[in-house]
Amino acid sequence: MHHAKRDGPQARPASPCLARTVLTRTMSASRSVQPATPRVPLAEPSSSHHVLGWDEMGLGGEFDGARLEGASGATDLSDVTFRDCVVARADLSGADLTRSRWEGSLLEGVFADELRAGKSSWRNVMLRQSRMGVLDLVDAKVQAVRIGGAKLGRVDLRRAIVTDLLIEDAVIEELDLDEAKATRISFSEVHIGRLSLHGSVLKDVDLRGARLAGVGPVMGLRGAIITDWQLQELAPALAADLGLRVLGEG
């Protein structure tokens, strides 16, 4: 009688139930750690403001408790400081806000084909019900800012430092965070046509409330929070970034 040769104990295939259990426990553990939420202003500036005309704005000046309305024209507001100010129903298409500083202020009903505000600083600021073609915030510092009810074309935050930003009920055609450092950003009911993340550093960036039409590169999402459904939608782009070929079963 011949006996079958044994080469030693055979490895048992991994149990599908065990794999599902490990995956479930891993996902549950990650979900138990909630992202830090942005610390943004809840109150508006004080109601008593003195109305100023755009022609009263001086290069590099400082303004406290001012209210500005109407078209700014080609006003040079570079290096100007705004504290506890209100800009309402204003057209800033021609204004230059380069290196301007905004603290504890409200911008409401603002329109601009292009808002030039590179290297500017924004702290405890609210932007509401506004429409802008291009919001240029390259190399800017954005801290404790709340944006709501806005329709924005291109939001350019390249190389910016963004800390505590909440965006609600808004449409953004393109959000550029290339080489930006972003911490504690949250979205609620926001549509983003394109999110660019080349060289960005993200921490507690909560994208669960955003509808993402396109992201690139997907690997730039490291440090962000997304939903299971968003992960499924991003799967083709993730496969492309990794050079994967996804085929059906043979």
Instruction: Tell me how many domains the chain contains.
Output: 1
Does 206 map to a domain?
A: yes
Integer CA distances (angstroms), 82 to 1, 132, 140, 154, in order: 97, 20, 15, 24
43 belongs to a structural domain: no
Q: What is the distance of C-alpha 99 from the center of its chain?
A: 21
Q: Which helix (H) or strand (E) holds 185?
A: strand 181-196
Please name the residue that has the structure tokens 């504290």: 83
pLDDT value at position 242? 82
Residue 149 placed within a domain? yes
pLDDT at position 48: 62
* Dihedral sign of CA atoms 218, 231, 191, 97 in order: negative
In a domain, 140, yes or no: yes
| Residue 105's CATH number | 2.160.20
**What is the predicted pLDDT for the residue at 46?**
66
Residue 3 in domain:
no
Whole-angstrom distance, CA of residue 7 vs CA of residue 128: 73
Backbone angles phi, psi at 35, to 5 degrees: -70, 150
- Average pLDDT across each block of 10 residues of the chain; the chain has 250 residues. List them in order: 48 42 41 74 71 80 92 91 95 94 96 97 97 98 98 98 98 98 98 97 97 91 93 85 82
The DSSP secondary-structure symbol of 223 reads T
In a domain, 24, yes or no: no
What are the helix (H) ranges across the chain? 16-32, 228-242
Q: How far apart are the C-alpha atoms of 211 and 191, rounded to whole Å?
A: 5
- Compute the C-alpha angle 240/234/173, nearest 5°: 105
Which domain does 77 fall in, by range?
49-242
What does the pLDDT read at residue 96? 94
Say what the pLDDT of residue 247 is.
85
| pLDDT at res. 53 | 87
Residue 160 included in any domain: yes
> Does a structural domain hold residue 141?
yes
- Per-residue pLDDT at 41: 75
